[in-house]
Amino acid sequence: MAGKETPDPSFEDALARLDRELAGLDVSDTAIARVDDRCLALLKLLRERCPDLVPINDAPAGTVARPVPLPAENAAALITTALRQAVATGATGRVPPPDAQLPATALWQEGPDALLVQVARCQVAFDDGQVVVTVPVLCDQIPDRYATVSVAFVVGTARRPAGLFAATSGHPSGPPVVVQRWGDALTALAWQALLDVVRGIASHAGRDADGAGLVPVALVAARTGLVVLPQARHPIDRVVGG
């Protein structure tokens, strides 16, 4: 049977000291300033002890934060949601609100050509340095009218970091009649969804000194999922006031 973890004395002492000091404070401006200083000191201690518990809210410009791991199951679900959000944005010209019902399919039409893209049924697989997004599609030119198109992105690994650069084989894998006509659009859709997820993860990992969300600077793929490396914006890229 595992033993009970022994609390860190310095952390426990800091909590007790903060309780004692807060109990007797008044509400004057001077007292509030002292509370702020003590809270900042405690927050620093908490980040040192539990770095994944408290997001960074004042990262200096250019500072790299802790990598954020995203398990494969969660990453696949987020990418699927991002695909649905992307087609909704393309259809309406605006990002849907958080509580909006996202579309399960998208009908692409250009001239006499049409393709039904079943974004809600996509599959996402991960391997070392690779992300594969497979999307079911339907059109009259496909035998049985149903097929899947797979878009593979080669990204960085833990041993071979590549920042946010990604490469593809040129054309997705799928029926030639679909890939030749819609391959670029399907690749762009899958890449947009992946980038949206990576940006969202980095933004929620913390904020910089200006209050803006952190931005992704590297993406690593493995069989277990994704790892996103967030960073505070450089001074030239500041977004004052968030």
The 10s digit of each residue's pLDDT in 167-204 is 987 789 999 999 999 999 999 999 999 999 999 999 88
Across 73-77, 97-101, 192-196, least confident range: 97-101
Please provide residue 173's backbone torsions phi and psi, each rounded to the nearest 5 degrees.
-95, 125
The DSSP element (H or E) to which 78 belongs, if any, is helix 72-92
DSSP assigned state of 64:
B
The pLDDT tens digits for 7-57 are 555 556 655 655 554 454 444 444 444 445 555 566 566 666 666 655 677
- Identify the burial level of 232 via C-beta atoms within 10 angstroms of its C-beta, where 0-12 means exposed, 13-18 middle and 19 or more buried: buried
Which pLDDT does position 148 carry in this prediction? Answer: 96
Q: Which of 62, 111, 95, 70 is nearest to 194 (CA)?
A: 70
Amino acid at 63: T
Reading the block at residue 93, the tokens are: 């010209």
* Angle ∠(214,163,220) on CA atoms, nearest 5: 90
Which pLDDT does position 151 carry in this prediction? Answer: 96
Q: How confident is the model at residue 131 (pLDDT cuts 50, 70, 90)?
A: very high
Residue 163 has pLDDT above 80, yes or no: yes
- What does the mean pLDDT of the chain come to? 82
Across 62-66, 85-89, 137-141, least confident range: 62-66
Q: How confident is the model at residue 2 (pLDDT cuts 50, 70, 90)?
A: very low
Rounded CA gap, 172 and 196, in Å? 20
Rounded CA gap, 81 and 52, in Å? 25
Q: How far is CA 164 from the centre of its chain?
A: 13
Q: How confident is the model at residue 219 (pLDDT cuts 50, 70, 90)?
A: very high
Between 222 and 57, the higher pLDDT residue = 222
- Identify the burial level of 82 via C-beta atoms within 10 angstroms of its C-beta, where 0-12 means exposed, 13-18 middle and 19 or more buried: buried
Rounded CA gap, 27 and 165, in Å? 52
pLDDT, average across residues 138-157: 92
Which pLDDT does position 13 carry in this prediction? Answer: 62
SS3 state at 132: strand
113-142 b/e (C-beta count within 10 Å ≥ 16 → b): eebebbbbebebebeebbbbbbbbbbbeee
DSSP assigned state of 149:
E
Contact 223, 128 (CB under 8 A): yes
SS3 state at 57: strand
92, 113, 124 from 137: Cα distances, Å: 21, 13, 15
Please provide residue 141's backbone torsions phi and psi, each rounded to the nearest 5 degrees.
-80, -5
SS3 state at 162: coil
Tokens 């000091």 label which residue?
21
pTM above 0.75, yes or no: yes
Reading the block at residue 161, the tokens are: 């970091």
